[in-house]
Chains A and B, each alone.
Chain A
């Protein structure tokens, strides 16, 4: 057997992932001013999914401790703001849970200020809040964070521009193709209509999937409001799999 034959036979199930046509915001979205000098101008070249794309880093457990999922207990005192629980499941587009995958979050404090030297919004920093969290999903794909509700904040995209309150989420899934970085928003935010980042998603239904849901069952009496938000990553492309099988 030649080297090439042994390589081809080795990754036996080279089943590609679905392609999310029309889902993500176009890179070239000039209403979001920062994209103007950073978005590529040339068309993207379609890359067939091979071993590098259908595998991905399965890392994280070794760098996560239980307190990493609670952003309210890592300092001398408790952070100011509305204490909240944010939980949900990481699934693929066939509805299968994505277990044991690293979820990383970061956010502004209750005043809408990030603990970052570049943020010059004149709102107070909170010495008891750094705004970073991480956890691993459990065997059913569930993640859970305890944090405080981030504040809205102004930015310089356009006159009187304000970002709706949001939490940044980073996900790996189980394949390079599933990598996703996004933002979770809160229900009923009056700032959605003027936000070019939220509105860069072409399909309004897809946009709404970034908004979490208030959930009384998740809410803990006398302690914290609860919000549910599921994250759906690309799954396998079953149609292509069948074609491959029939060959």
Chain B
């Protein structure tokens, strides 16, 4: 079955799995540091990636992308960003918005970052602070995409158009990190596939 792709979609390159050997090419030594760990206001977000048997996934890569605390992005499509939208500007505090953490033998990943600010919603209004997340692993023929929201943003979360579009409260809760009890530390587990003891994380079609 072949058909002409719609205009603007011509010749797109399809995805393939990252495979079991991504550790050769993708991790950066400073990948988990979205900001230097000694930066005032730095928070830690981490958790486990689990498969459909509830077992840890030791060969995954978790990548995050988010706004700065003021809700801006260091990107030309955000005219409010540092450098007035100049290409690739970095901030004085070294915040780069992007995090990359390979999972360890226990399926654990972790990043150090700053709290994202609120950003505009595509249809008007605002979105609660969030991080976009890509998960890459052997067994995944394309990345899967989810979001991390923060548990102490209850009012903003309650008004967030993405969270409120998910009817099942248990499913919705998979997108909200949990406090760990330590200040500035949050836990976000990613269930690739539901199993008897655990929920499947909500994943998005982007």
Contacts and interface: CB of A to CB of B under 8 A. Distances in A.
B141 A56 contact: no
A52 B15 contact: no
B139 A39 contact: yes
Interface string A133-148: 1100000000000000
Given A38-B193, A57-B97, A23 B14 contact: yes
Contacts of A3: 118, 126
A117 to B, nearest CB: 9
A124 interface: no
B16 A27 contact: no
Interface in B24-44: 24-26, 28
B96 interface: yes
B67 interface: yes
Contact of A93 (B1, B12, B18, B24): B12
A181 B194 CA distance: 25
Contacts of A38: 51-52, 57, 137-140, 192-193
A48 B122 contact: yes
B154 interface: no
B119 interface: yes
Interface string A180-210: 1111000000000000011011111111011
Interface in A41-79: 41-42, 44-59, 61, 63
A24 B8 contact: no
B181 interface: no
A24 B125 contact: no
A125 B17 CA distance: 23
A37 interface: yes
B157 to A, nearest CB: 15
Given A34-B138, A40-B192, A237 B127 contact: no
B77 A182 contact: no
Contacts of B10: 93, 232
Given A7-B126, A10-B120, A24-B142, A119 B194 contact: no
Contacts, number: 275
A14 interface: yes
A179 B44 CA distance: 24
Contact of A56 (B75, B125, B205): B75
Interface string A1-12: 001100110111
B206 A49 contact: yes
A107 to B, nearest CB: 8
Contacts of A45: 165-166, 202-205
A170 B139 contact: no
Nearest to A237: B8
A139 to B, nearest CB: 12
A213 to B, nearest CB: 14
A63 B203 CA distance: 31
A35 to B, nearest CB: 5
Nearest to B54: A37
Given A57-B97, A183-B16, A203-B1, A100 B87 contact: yes
A49 B204 CA distance: 11
Contacts of A27: 140-142, 144
B104 interface: no
Interface of A: 3-4, 7-8, 10-14, 16, 18-20, 23-27, 29, 32, 34-42, 44-59, 61, 63, 93-94, 100, 104-106, 114-116, 118-119, 130-134, 168, 170, 174-177, 179-183, 197-198, 200-207, 209-210, 231-239
Given A18-B9, A25-B141, A45-B203, 15 more contacts: A8-B124, A10-B78, A24-B15, A24-B141, A27-B140, A39-B141, A40-B192, A52-B67, A55-B78, A56-B65, A114-B21, A168-B21, A176-B65, A209-B11, A238-B8
Interface of B: 1-2, 6-26, 28, 51-53, 55, 57, 59, 63, 65-67, 71-75, 77-80, 87-88, 96-98, 118-127, 130, 132, 134, 136-145, 162, 165-166, 171, 192-194, 200-206
